[in-house]
Amino acid sequence: MSTTTDTPTRPKRALPPLMSVSDAAAARLRALYDKAEQGKLLRIAVKTKGCSGLSYDLSWVDAAGPADEVVTDNGVTVLVDRKATLFLTGTMMDYEVKAMSAGFTFVNPNEKGRCGCGESFHV
């Protein structure tokens, strides 16, 4: 004897976007894509490094590889290493100019802490 029960399916929760790109980061990327890095794409990965264990690794590549997720936001495209998606889901990429430095920064909701020098993070 077999019994079947209909269990109601719960609606799936929408996942946050893998990454978003701020206006400042998009403007900087456009400038780089148009001049110094023309024909290339920025690839974002996460490497084991530093006091806290992980750091962002940015590199220029000619094309997306089989292990890359393509993210298009704010009119620009970046690549994300598929192994880094677990650490980067929901992250916003920004570009900051300070008195003595300028560079891409990441506002990552998955970060649980950073080392004192700011080079690495942990989740």
Cα separation, 121 vs 53, in Å, equals: 6
Give tens-digit pLDDT for 61-100.
Answer: 999 999 999 999 999 999 999 999 988 899 999 999 999 9
- 46: domain CATH number? 2.60.300.12
68: in domain = yes
Contacts of 60 (CB under 8 A, 6+ apart): 37, 40, 41, 42, 43
Match 């495209």 to its residue by tokens: 77
Q: Based on the structure, what is the number of domains in the chain? A: 1
1: in domain = no
**Percentage, residues of the chain above pLDDT 90:** 48
Predicted local distance difference test score (pLDDT) of residue 12: 75
Note down the domain range covering 32: 19-117
10: in domain = no
11: in domain = no
Q: How confident is the model at residue 43 (pLDDT cuts 50, 70, 90)?
A: very high
6: in domain = no
46: in domain = yes
- Mean of pLDDT over the chain: 84
Q: Do 12 and 20 form a contact (C-beta atoms < 8 A)? A: no
Q: Do 49 and 120 form a contact (C-beta atoms < 8 A)? A: yes
The whole model's pTM is what?
A: 0.78
Give tens-digit pLDDT for 47-70.
Answer: 876 555 788 889 999 999 999 999
H helices present in 12-75, as ranges: 23-34
Contacts of 86 (CB under 8 A, 6+ apart): none
